Amino acid sequence: MNERFVKHATFVVERTYPASPERVYQAWADPETKSKWFSKPEIFDFRVGGREYSKGGPPEGPVFTFDASYQEIVPEQRIVYTYTLDSDDTRVSVSNTTVELIRVGDGTKLIFTEQGAFFDGHDTPEIREHGTGIMLDALGKLFEAEVGA
């Protein structure tokens, strides 16, 4: 039998975007826009108590399942959600995430804070933080394309 363990961690990733807090918020709140930088949700109910659910991954696998519940939404300022992440049929983590949007000049500073419980070595805080950085960079490319348009 494999030994079970939990690694708890908190990480913070910050980005500054050339877009207003209203526009950055809309990129999180609109399923079509979110699918351009995150994943296309199968369920998307963006409200306190609402749920976001998506499945996907590389063709060779594994299939990742993201299942989130929105806990707090302050339009154009803050989004808080809890989520589970599964790899195929294995639960790899449970997290609490806060996204803060702060106006800086003509742009927005986004502060992404995740507090997670990572299970049995299937995922690590370091890997998750790296992936979050890539995800937030993809969001930034969306705004850079709009500014360049």
What is residue 149's predicted lDDT score, i.e. its pLDDT? 56
- pLDDT tens string 34-60: 999 998 999 999 999 999 999 998 899
Average pLDDT score over the chain: 95
Segment 23-44 shows an average pLDDT of: 96
Q: With beta carbons less than 8 A apart as the criterion, state whether 70 and 57 touch.
A: no
pLDDT range class, residue 147, cuts 50, 70, 90: confident
Put residue 136 in one of left, alpha, beta given phi > 0 → left and psi -120 to 50 → alpha. Answer: alpha
What is residue 146's predicted lDDT score, i.e. its pLDDT? 86
Q: With beta carbons less than 8 A apart as the criterion, state whether 75 and 84 touch.
A: no
For a pLDDT cut of 70, what percent of the chain falls above it?
98
Segment 69-93 shows an average pLDDT of: 97
What is residue 16's predicted lDDT score, i.e. its pLDDT? 98
What is residue 57's predicted lDDT score, i.e. its pLDDT? 86
pLDDT at 95 over 90: yes
Q: What is the dihedral of CA 31, 104, 77, 132, to 10 degrees?
A: 50
Each residue of 6-30: b (16+ CB within 10 Å) or e? eeebebebebebebbbebbbebbbe
The residue with tokens 């806990």 is 71
pLDDT at 1 over 60: no
CA angle 101, 106, 111 (to 5 degrees): 20
